[in-house]
Amino acid sequence: MLKTSNVEYCSSSLNVIRVGKKNLKIKEFSKQNENISVPPAQCLPSTDITVLYAYSTDIDADTYGYGASSVIGYANKYATMANVRFDTKQEEDIEYHTDSESLSDSLNSHLPDPSLGYGNKTTGSNLYTVLKKFLNNRKVSLCGAHVFIAVKRYPDESYVSDIITQLRANHVIVYIAVDSIPSGGSNSATLYEMSYQTNGYSLFATGSDLRYAFEWMTAILQTPYQIIAQNFVVSESGRIEVSAFTTPIPTGYASPCFFATTIQNHTLDNSFVSMNYTIESTDGSYVFKFPSQDALPLFGTAQTDFSTLNGSLSYKWTIDYNYDTDAPQIIQLRMYSHYYHDFLPLPVF
């Protein structure tokens, strides 16, 4: 069993922490045991930011639609909304908007359409080309931007450190919903790495699980301030305990917090057996349990939910996991609030 240290106002971004029965050495995550410094003062969290919605032209209509509804619905909370359809034979421009009406019009005129795509299973996605355009744009600020991506065709690139470095320098958080049945391409690992290294998260699912998972992923826009970002490398079975934390909710007030848990860094496979967790006040007056009648189900590799927490209370988060393998797995924990919180430290990269 492993306990994390106490967290003041949830200012916690433990990088990858190894827990479980065996002390495996994991080369690809060996450097990620320290935190980097806090973000520069000139780039601070706010809602005066850009939100980018990027989606493959191959993605199914329901997944696209659920994501579009969220970004349109929460557009007025943010300074700039942007959208782009990628994986098209003729590359399309990113469009920027300052109101929900123009965003809605743009999305409705750029629906997913596989007939506009590459028409084969061998060509990789051009997602990284599109992201480079966004990172090098001269129209909007990148500071603290949120990026939501719906992926059907995998990229082929195995090296994207330049993009990740630029994302991190601007504290851009990347969230990716990956269809576990791709329309082409070969490399989903870099997608996970990009979201992981920016304190976002990736999920893998298909069919109805994908669309519901993406709906709840984009619903994070309701609560723009990230207050927990922790990653754990685990195997077999065990328990993770996040020690007592408080939220940035003012004392005497209650407010919804969104939270997400991911259970694998690849398409869900038979090695996953179970995961359950509780978020409980330390005085025992409140407990949220997964699974339960009050909780949403696991959609693919992610479970996302929300609950009303009280600023007068402290909480603990306990996760029990079981995998039928001693191979390393990654569990990610994320939590979000309406109330301001500084950027969390990023994993060492």
For residue 113, give the CATH number of its domain.
Answer: 3.40.50.410
Show the domain range for 185: 50-222
Question: Is 43 part of any domain?
Answer: no
User: Looking at the DSSP assignment, which residues form a beta bridge with residue 55?
Assistant: 85, 150
Question: Is 201 part of any domain?
Answer: yes
pLDDT in tens, 200-216: 999 999 999 999 999 99
pLDDT band at 138 (very low <50, low <70, confident <90, very high): very high
On the question of pLDDT at 185 being above 70, the answer is: yes
Q: What is the pLDDT of residue 16?
A: 42
Question: Is 345 part of any domain?
Answer: no
Q: Are residues 204 and 83 in the same domain?
A: yes
Question: Is 39 part of any domain?
Answer: no
Question: Is 80 part of any domain?
Answer: yes
pLDDT band at 42 (very low <50, low <70, confident <90, very high): confident
CATH classification of the domain holding 287: 2.60.120.380
Question: Is 304 part of any domain?
Answer: yes
pLDDT in tens, 50-79: 999 999 999 999 999 999 999 999 999 999
Q: Are residues 198 and 240 in the same domain?
A: no
Q: What is the pLDDT of residue 88?
A: 98
On the question of pLDDT at 317 being above 80, the answer is: yes
Q: What is the pLDDT of residue 286?
A: 97
Q: Are residues 9 and 101 in the same domain?
A: no
Q: Are residues 217 and 236 in the same domain?
A: no
pLDDT band at 22 (very low <50, low <70, confident <90, very high): very low
Task: Give the residue from 204, 222, 240 where a domain finishes.
Answer: 222
**Among 21-25, 135-139, 156-160, 219-223, the least confident range:** 21-25
Q: Are residues 79 and 136 in the same domain?
A: yes
Q: Are residues 104 and 229 in the same domain?
A: no
On the question of pLDDT at 4 being above 60, the answer is: no
User: Mean pLDDT across the stretch 269-296?
Assistant: 97
Q: What is the pLDDT of residue 12?
A: 39
Q: Are residues 85 and 170 in the same domain?
A: yes
Q: Are residues 10 and 92 in the same domain?
A: no
What does the alpha-carbon distance between residue 91 and residue 89 come to, in Å, rounded to a whole number?
A: 6
What does the alpha-carbon distance between residue 193 and residue 160 come to, in Å, rounded to a whole number?
A: 9
Q: Are residues 72 and 208 in the same domain?
A: yes
Average pLDDT value over all residues in the chain? 90
pLDDT in tens, 229-238: 999 999 999 9
Task: Give the residue from 195, 222, 249 where a domain finishes.
Answer: 222
Q: Are residues 210 and 235 in the same domain?
A: no
Q: Per the structure, how many domains does the chain have? A: 2
Q: What is the pLDDT of residue 348?
A: 86
pLDDT in tens, 238-253: 999 998 999 999 999 9
Percent of the chain scored above 70 by pLDDT?
88
pLDDT in tens, 25-38: 222 332 333 333 34
Q: What is the pLDDT of residue 9?
A: 35
On the question of pLDDT at 325 being above 90, the answer is: yes
On the question of pLDDT at 139 being above 90, the answer is: yes
Q: Are residues 319 and 236 in the same domain?
A: yes
Q: What is the pLDDT of residue 243?
A: 84
- Say if CB 163 and CB 128 are below 8 A apart: yes
User: Mean pLDDT across the stretch 283-292?
Assistant: 97
Q: Are residues 101 and 57 in the same domain?
A: yes
pLDDT in tens, 75-95: 999 999 999 999 999 999 999
Q: What is the pLDDT of residue 41?
A: 52
Task: Give the residue from 165, 188, 222 where a domain finishes.
Answer: 222
Question: Is 9 part of any domain?
Answer: yes
User: Mean pLDDT across the stretch 294-316?
Assistant: 97
Question: Is 101 part of any domain?
Answer: yes
